[in-house]
């Protein structure tokens, strides 16, 4: 090898030895994640979620402690295996909040979407209002790295927040009841946490869509919280869907057909899809989520049994796929709108 060829190869070796730069979306995601950790809104929402979960958890734990003798007998006879999961699903006696279910599962389902909306309603229009968006896209990164990084950073912060809340709930339950969850219960809680994160990711993508589409952050916040009240709270959306379902199912010949129509319409709301997945994961006695199976004559004659984790996973796969598809659709629409918008300096 001649000296000339060696000299010519030195720049190529220098480029190869030079450390590779981080992808642009990772840089923005790291910055967004750090901003979320230092923001007041994260801790306010954590307090709201914590109170919303600890209050029903306390009453559920007290109820289980009061019935400790009966619970111990059922466990010994093998009729009750998911005692720890009952902390998330049991509704204490004597507490009636109308359409609101007083369980940890129900409160998490209502309050968790606030994380997605709160972290995304001003993610893009806030940068535009402050005048930092033109400078952000002028950096040596691809334009789509901005929205990809903001979504990834927000989702990372949401994952940290929800994981913290679930660990606090589990720790409180173990201390209060003095019981340890079984391996099957741990796997169910982990999958339920993943489904909850996916459900909140849907709201995060929806919030980013509002932030890209609506110029004012205050307006996008109002629209986002209005959608949350309509979809996640059992006041307006489920009530209207129920009334429409009763009208459409009035001609049903059997009880199974009647409730199947109501269930089909209820699944138009993502909150209903998430509620079905949560119920099947946290309650091993649920063997089907189809109304036609639940209200059939064969189901009435079946002896209640406890499903294994893999069987419950098979039941909730359609709900998980549907939530994932809705999340992808919302994010893709926000992505396309952002890439087509004009960013002026």
Please report the pLDDT score of residue 181 as a whole number: 81
Please report the pLDDT score of residue 14 as a whole number: 43
Alpha-carbon distance of 268 to 278, in angstroms, equals 17
CA dihedral sign, ordered 98, 43, 201, 314:
negative
Find all residues with CB under 8 Å of 162, minimum gap 6, and list them.
Answer: 112, 115, 193, 196, 197, 200
Q: Do 225 and 135 touch, CB atoms closer than 8 A?
A: no
Torsion angle in degrees (nearest 10) through CA of 313, 318, 323, 328: 110
Please report the pLDDT score of residue 32 as a whole number: 85
For residue 337, give the nearest of 216, 205, 228, 204 by alpha carbon.
205
For residue 184, give the nearest of 283, 66, 275 by alpha carbon.
283
Q: Do 4 and 124 touch, CB atoms closer than 8 A?
A: no
Alpha-carbon distance of 345 to 131, in angstroms, equals 8
Residue 251 in tokens? 């001609």
Written as tens digits, the pLDDT of the chain (345 aa) is: 554 444 444 444 443 444 444 577 788 888 888 888 888 888 887 887 777 777 777 777 766 666 555 554 544 444 445 677 877 777 765 565 555 666 778 888 888 888 888 888 888 887 777 777 777 767 777 778 888 888 999 999 989 888 988 888 888 777 777 777 888 888 999 999 999 999 999 999 999 999 888 888 888 889 888 888 887 776 677 777 777 767 666 666 666 666 677 777 777 788 888 988 998 888 888 877 765 555 554 444 455 567 788 888 888 999 999 999 999 999 999 999 988 877 665
CB neighbours (10 Å) of residue 327? 23
The structure's pTM equals 0.81
Residue carrying structure tokens 């199976």: 293
Largest CA distance in the chain: 91
Residue 179 in tokens? 């019981």
Query: What are the start-end ranges of the H helices in the chain?
Result: 3-17, 24-38, 40-66, 68-77, 86-89, 104-111, 113-120, 125-130, 133-137, 144-177, 183-213, 217-231, 237-248, 255-266, 270-282, 291-294, 297-301, 309-340
Alpha-carbon distance of 345 to 338, in angstroms, equals 16
List the chain domain ranges.
Answer: 24-232
Beta bridge partners of 100: 97
Taking each helix axis as running N to C, give the angle between helix 309-340 and helix 144-177, from 0 to 180 degrees, rounded to the nearest 10.
150
CA-based end-to-end distance of the chain? 53
CB neighbours (10 Å) of residue 44? 12
Please report the pLDDT score of residue 2 as a whole number: 53
């Amino acid at each position: 090898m001649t000296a000339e060829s060696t000299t010519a190869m030195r720049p190529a070796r220098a480029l190869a030895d030079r450390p590779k730069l981080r992808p642009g979306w990772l840089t923005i995601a790291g910055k967004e994640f750090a901003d979320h950790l230092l923001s007041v809104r994260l801790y306010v929402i954590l307090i709201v979620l914590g109170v919303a979960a600890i209050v029903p958890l306390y009453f559920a734990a007290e109820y289980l402690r009061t019935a400790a003798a009966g619970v111990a007998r059922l466990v010994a006879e093998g009729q009750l295996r998911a005692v720890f999961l009952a902390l998330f699903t049991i509704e204490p006696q004597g507490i009636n909040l109308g359409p609101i279910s007083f369980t940890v599962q129900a409160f998490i389902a209502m309050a968790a979407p606030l994380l997605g909306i709160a972290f995304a309603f001003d993610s893009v229009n806030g940068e535009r209002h402050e005048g930092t968006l033109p400078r952000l896209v002028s950096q040596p990164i691809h334009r789509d790295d901005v929205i990809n990084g903001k979504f990834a950073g927000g989702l990372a912060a949401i994952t940290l927040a929800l994981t913290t809340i679930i660990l606090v709930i589990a720790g409180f339950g173990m201390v209060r009841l003095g019981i340890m969850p079984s391996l099957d219960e741990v796997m169910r809680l982990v999958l339920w946490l993943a489904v909850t994160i996916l459900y909140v990711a849907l709201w995060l993508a929806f919030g980013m869509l509002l932030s890209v589409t609506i110029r004012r952050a205050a307006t996008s916040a109002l629209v986002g919280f209005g959608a949350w009240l309509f979809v996640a709270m059992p006041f307006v959306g489920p009530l209207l869907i129920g009334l429409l379902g009763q009208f459409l199912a009035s001609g049903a010949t059997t009880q199974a057909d009647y409730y199947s129509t109501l269930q089909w319409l209820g699944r138009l709301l993502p909150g209903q899809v998430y509620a079905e997945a949560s119920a099947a994961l946290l309650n091993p006695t649920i063997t089907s989520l189809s109304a036609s199976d639940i209200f059939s004559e064969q189901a009435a004659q079946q002896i209640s049994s406890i499903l294994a984790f893999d069987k419950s996973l098979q039941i909730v796969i359609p709900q998980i796929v549907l939530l994932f598809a809705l999340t992808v659709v919302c994010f893709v629409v926000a992505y396309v709108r952002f890439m087509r918008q004009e960013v002026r300096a």
